[in-house]
Amino acid sequence: MFHTTRYTLIFGLLIALAGSPAAAQSDPSKGSQDLSIKGLIDKIRKLEKGLKGVELEMATLGAYPGGLKFQTSGRLRVLGTTHFHIRVASAFLGNDDDQLRSEVEKVITPAGVETRQQGPIEIVYTKMSADLVRRLELAQKALAAADKAKAGRTVVVPSILADGGRAPLGSEMVAALDQQFDLRLQKERRKVAGVQCRVWRGVWRVPTPKGADPALAEPTGSASAELVVRPDGVPIAMRQFDQDQRQTLELRIDKLTLNPALTEKDFVLVVPAGTVFQDVMDHRPSRAQIQRLLDEYAELERPKSPPNKKSPAPR
């Protein structure tokens, strides 16, 4: 369900909410709005094809069911569809006002992924080879296809590697929202940074699985959502609300630079002198997550025995 993957979505939005050269070459206050959410997604994807680069700063504020609150701030730099630099600082605030802070920084290039993870106790630097990145992307796509075949739909959760990074304007984010909320264009207009933006709003639409308890299928976090979109099709904010219309999540773009002067040399993870990157498979927590995904993929690809036929007994 959407609220259970909220943090993953937030991190993914550092790529999903950006800008495009097409938008930069025109006045963001001018443009036409499609009357259907499918039309909006198509429009965003068309703009994304012209992407060359972007820099942005964004912030989020939200709460999980049960009272755990969180806030994040992030910075993103993108060059084409091959180079990304993401930095996200997070703070979690419980009912007892104890805060847990962390920071994640990633540089993604055709050579692989370098990561810095800073928690309350330690800072860990890891690297992932391009070959492992390709294997994980293949596994994720296969497992998503299997889920769709089994459930009849796919819950899209944008990530830093979503669609090879080819969704920098937010098309994958909007597609994810569309699968879970019945978003419709409103008559309301909202002025943001001097631009009259349109608002899309909708209620939870995920159907109750056949035979399931309807009470278990109701969202316990977000019951509705809204998307704020510039006339040129660029999403600039997203909010979610509970059944009492209390805001449970807000994401906003605080700064956006289209087509900045970036080169491949700018995409380097700067580390203290003498620091050595640890292979991600030598980092036990990361290895456990990666291995679980690869094991699920291996099980999916393993040839199945013909139905109604017993496998021969081992000799």
**CA distances for 242 relative to 193, 219, 221, 238, angstroms:** 27, 8, 6, 14
Residue 120 has pLDDT above 90, yes or no: no
In Å, the largest CA–CA distance within the chain is 77
End-to-end C-alpha distance for the chain, whole angstroms? 46
Interior CA angle at 103 toward 98 and 109, to 5°? 160
Neighbours of 17 (CB within 10 A): 26
Query: Going by C-beta distance under 8 Å and a sequence separation of 6 or more, which residues neighbour residue 278?
Result: 124, 125, 126, 127
Parse the chain into domains and list their residue ranges: 2-301
The model carries a pTM of: 0.74
pLDDT at residue 307 in the model: 57
pLDDT of residue 306: 61
As a residue count, the chain comes to: 315
**CA–CA separation, 213 and 217 (whole Å):** 7
Q: Name the token pair of 60.
A: 């989020």
Burial class (CB in 10 A: 0-12, 13-18, 19+), 292: exposed
The answer, yes or no, to whether residue 201 has pLDDT greater than 60, is yes
Q: What is the mean pLDDT of the chain?
A: 78
| 2-301, CATH topology level | outer membrane lipoprotein receptor (LolB), chain A (2.50.20)
pLDDT (tens digit per residue) in 62-96: 887 777 788 999 998 989 888 999 999 998 876 55
Which of 22-26, 112-116, 233-237, 267-271 has the lowest average pLDDT? 22-26
Q: Indicate the DSSP class of residue 204.
A: B
Which DSSP category does 122 fall into? Answer: -
Strands of the chain (E only): list them. 53-63, 69-79, 83-93, 99-109, 112-118, 123-129, 184-192, 195-203, 224-229, 235-241, 247-258, 278-279
Angle between helices 171-180 and 37-48 (to 10 degrees): 160
pLDDT at 180 over 90: no
* 68 membership: H or E segment, kind and range: none
259 or 207: which leads in pLDDT: 259
pLDDT beyond 50 at 149: yes
Strands in 123-129's sheet, in edge-to-edge order, are 184-192, 195-203, 224-229, 235-241, 247-258, 53-63, 69-79, 83-93, 99-109, 112-118, 123-129, 278-279
Q: Which residue has the higher pLDDT, 100 or 228?
A: 228
